[in-house]
Amino acid sequence: MTKKSKIKMPEKALASLLVMLVIAQFTIAADGQVLIVSFHYDEAGLSVQEQLIKYGYAPGIREGIFTAELIGADSSVIASIPFDIPLNEFTDIADNATGELSGGIIRHNQTDFALVLPYEHEAKEIAMKGPLGKDILRARINPSKPQPKAGGIIVFAALGFMVGIAAAAMLLRKKKR
């Protein structure tokens, strides 16, 4: 005869709470969120370095000959944002006595830059287009997420493995004797 397992009320309530919290994470609207993407540009082209989704504000003024598009799962274009790859950097320094400036433009061959884009929950991909509208890069939207704290579990599992190895070694030694 087996005992029926009893589910304690607090555990049940906690489980329900956890389920609700998990569901809540997926149903929180993307309203007020931005997608920040960092890129590297060089002669080989454009590549994505890092992505982040957070609450915040994207710039309203946009200019440029390139276009960043947010693409939905159904391949529709959710947003289209012009931008430039910032290769020119003006640098200036003034003579303290006369105020006369000197300096110039540094024209970079390669650069790291970031774009702040308005984020919609439906957006699954970003498509970067060149001046003639041709795709130069497509990337899945895959922002860095805080990882669950698995360190403790891994340490315990490693310890268990070591204990097991030691026990097995002792058994084998005993057997040889």
Partner 1 sequence: MMQQGNLGTLLFAVLVIIIAAAALFLGASYIISANSQVKQAEAVVFRSGLLQALQANKASALRPQGSTSIEAFTLPDDADTVCFVDESREYNTLIDPELNQLIRRYEGATIFIKPTDSYLPIAAKDFTLDEGNNPLCLKATRNGIRLRMQSAPLKPIISEVNASDKRYRCSKVIGSGDEGTIGIVFLPHGYNDLDRFREDAEFYAENIFLDTEPYASSPELFTFYMVDSALELGCKVGSIITCDDFKVKRAASDCPHDFITVLAERSKVYDSLVPVRSSAKGNLQKINTADKPTVFTHEFGHIFGKLADEYVDDRYYRAIDFREEDYPNCDEAGCNEWAGVSGTSCRQGCSLSVYYRPTENSVMKNLDIKSYGPLNERIIAGKMVQSKASER
Residue 59 interacting with partner 1 (CB under 8 A): yes
Residue 156 interacting with partner 1 (CB under 8 A): yes
Residue 76 interacting with partner 1 (CB under 8 A): no
- Write out the two tokens for 175: 């057997």
R_g of the chain computed on alpha carbons: 27
What are the C-alpha distances in Å from 24 to residues 19, 106, 111, 122?
8, 48, 39, 16
- Write out the two tokens for 112: 């790291």
Q: How many residues bind partner 1 (CB under 8 A)?
A: 65
Residue 57 interacting with partner 1 (CB under 8 A): yes
- For residue 71, the number of C-alpha atoms closer than 13 Å in the C-beta half-sphere is 16
Residue 43 interacting with partner 1 (CB under 8 A): no
First to last CA, the chain: 44
Residue 9 interacting with partner 1 (CB under 8 A): no
Q: In the complex, which residues of this chain contact partner 1 (CB under 8 A)?
A: 14, 17, 21, 25, 28-29, 31-32, 34, 36, 38, 49-50, 52, 54-61, 84, 86, 88-94, 96, 98-107, 112-116, 149, 152-153, 155-157, 159-161, 163-165, 167-169, 171-172, 175
